Structure 1
């Protein structure tokens, strides 16, 4: 994997020889286990290899190197967007963040009849959806402008103030909205703009 080796030489893999050897061994062990059949969660793969379920978390150096290695192995360009990273990993049987990545939706209008559509339509309160919900049963949304906020407190204020505007809250992880199959114009606004 010449691209991965060049990247590791340029950016480093650890602080000392022991950490560097451990990182390389963990990466090699992970690559030997893919493609995974049946599919395995990224956290389980990391735990089985290192004892740490967060070892290959996508926001860490080890996670970034793992994604780069997978991309090189399958002959693709390394993806930058979180949804493309998850899609790449799924091609080799690795499932990332399906339950930990959540989005809160409030006042979002739907026109479909799936289970998520019904939850959104029937709930007067914000609805928490995981990436698994959005991927397995994506809602069919009506045309609308969706305001995206990061802080759940903004959504709480909007709820208590009976705001009728469609709002999505990514709970501090704006990248989570990348996974949301929302064919609308997304606008990030300040709390004062959303909740006046």
Structure 2
């Protein structure tokens, strides 16, 4: 038998038809039988050899050189030919034992379980590591990310999991550390936990599952900063900033100088993380979406005595990690938070994210009547169908504003309310 099947493999190799065996193996392992047909691409010479092998009626031309062959007929003709072999024996002689779907699944599950056990052996008595290994075996965030990577490259996935286990054992850090330095000390590679690395994506998943819920309505980059920061890791302390004006009482020398300079300044994350804001329940912070409105109000408030000027904060179109962390500090210090933004999907999305996070937030000039005041019928921009669908699902205090926007069909912008915003600040802080 061995000589016969080896001879059959050699004959197919000479005829340049080994890809026929590859296609047949894939079909059989998936369906656990030899019923049905396979399709392969052949040139004219290969086509003729196939016809000679299985008969003209058993080879169907599809198009672009692709032929369809019945596996049952192929098996039958191989046995009837001078080779006198069965198709399954030829495939196994060429590329090893055939694993039917059931057997293959059992083998894969066994390998998967052994892999998780090897990872767990790094810290068998660490409860958080044990919880994460269980998460890898579930349909949660870590499990989904790990399974996708494992199916592509099991060895690389296991290496990444080992790096994350090493990180879990260290977290949360008692003293903040830059992520690149943490990775270098832990793995030898400063980029091991970068966003384009599996270990980096798995690290974010375990932080979200065990340490900190991911905030909504932030960009992926800013969410990453918040999650890493919750366990003492910083991507860097400079790239995430927030525009701030008139923030006093922090005892930070630079911020105190900024507050006295009648201007707004970008404040980086590493400064915000070090701030100590005293409890001031009588204070307010007014959050604006647009830098132009922020700058206008900052300059206009010089008519008010410095000690009475409200804190102004600008998200710059999207919430940043710096903005969120600063608002957390101010909220904990008793500040009343006001938010005003554009009348478009992004402006309302920021408002919804802040409303979910800060229960007593005040919506500032975000009512249906304010939308009508900001509305310009001559503006070219219109709300897209997707925008309207999103607005139609708004069900909180912004629902009436969202419905009004759907009716008018256009966005409106905060800058058109600049004078009203200024009057509000002057009245509240005079």
- What TM-score do the two structures reach when normalised by structure 2? 0.35
1:55 aligns with 195
> Residue 261 of structure 2 aligns with which residue?
123
Could you tell me which residue of structure 2 aligns to residue 17 of structure 1? 152
Residue 135 of structure 1 pairs with residue 305 of structure 2: no
Task: Work out the CA distance in 2 between the residues paired with 1:134 and 1:28.
Answer: 33
Larger RCO of the pair (alpha carbons < 8 Å, separation 6+): 1
Q: Are the structure 2 counterparts of residues 138 and 46 from structure 1 closer, same or farther at C-alpha, using a change threshold of 3 Å?
A: same
1:87-143 per-residue CA deviation (whole Å, 9 max, x = no partner) reads 5422xxx334533221111234x2353325523432211122122212223344753
Distance in 1, matches of 2:136 and 2:151, equals 19
1:194–1:123: structure 2 CA closer, same or farther, 3 Å change rule? farther
1:80 aligns with 2:209: no
Distance 1:112 1:41, change over 3 A: closer
2:243 matched to 1:104? yes
1:113 aligned to 2:251? yes
Match of 1:31 in 2: 165
CA shift in 2, pair 1:77/1:112, >3 Å:
closer
Distance 1:53 1:195, change over 3 A: farther
> Which residue of 2 is the match for residue 187 of structure 1?
338
Say which one has the larger Rg.
Answer: 2
Unaligned stretches of 5+ residues in structure 2? 1-132, 216-222, 303-309, 342-413, 420-430
Q: Which runs of 5+ in 1 are unaligned?
A: none
**Distance in 2 separating the partners of 1:129 and 1:141:** 21
Please report the RMSD computed on the Cα atoms of aligned residues, expressed in angstroms.
3.9
Say how many residue pairs are matched. 184
Determine which of 30, 34, 41 is the counterpart of 2:178: 41
Look up the match of 2:231: 89
What is the aligned partner in structure 2 of residue 66 from structure 1?
203
Question: TM-score of the superposition, structure 1-length normalised?
Answer: 0.66
Q: Which has the higher helix share?
A: 2
State the SS of the aligned residue for 1:119: helix
2 CA distance for matches of 1:27 and 1:97? 24
C-alpha distance in 2, partners of 1:28/1:175?
Answer: 31
> Post-superposition shift, 1:147?
1.8
User: Structure 1 residues 130, 171: closer, same or farther in 2, change over 3 A?
Assistant: same
